[in-house]
Amino acid sequence: MSLFSQSAHAEGGVFLRTLKIGMSGEDVRELQKFLNTDSETRVSLMGAGSLGSETDYFGPATHRALVRFQEKYNTEILAPL
């Protein structure tokens, strides 16, 4: 999902850089918070990355949650293309 361009923060739901596994920053925390708003795309059920315990690290759990989000909304994401 390319909602990301080149700065370090998410502002108003827009991510300003491309996020990848291994990166860290407040924009990653905002992505985790966003993903955690839906029980189907939660980063983790407990501990680091879980609702209220979001981290600034984009690891495997964040990646899996993002893939679940993309799969869930694939028609909305891909239809405009």
Among 2, 6, 79, 74, CA closest to 41: 74
**Looking at residue 11, what is its pLDDT?**
61
Nearest to 29 by CA among 5, 51, 1: 51
Burial 22-51 (b: 16+ CB within 10 A, else e): ebebebbbbbbebbbeeeebbbbeeeebbb
**Whole-prediction pTM value?**
0.81
User: What H or E segment, with its residue span, contains residue 66?
Assistant: helix 60-72
- DSSP conformation class of 49: T
Q: What is the pLDDT along the chain (81 residues), one digit of tens a residue?
A: 444 333 455 666 788 899 999 999 999 999 999 999 999 999 999 999 999 999 999 999 999 999 999 999 998 877 776
State residue 12's pLDDT score: 67
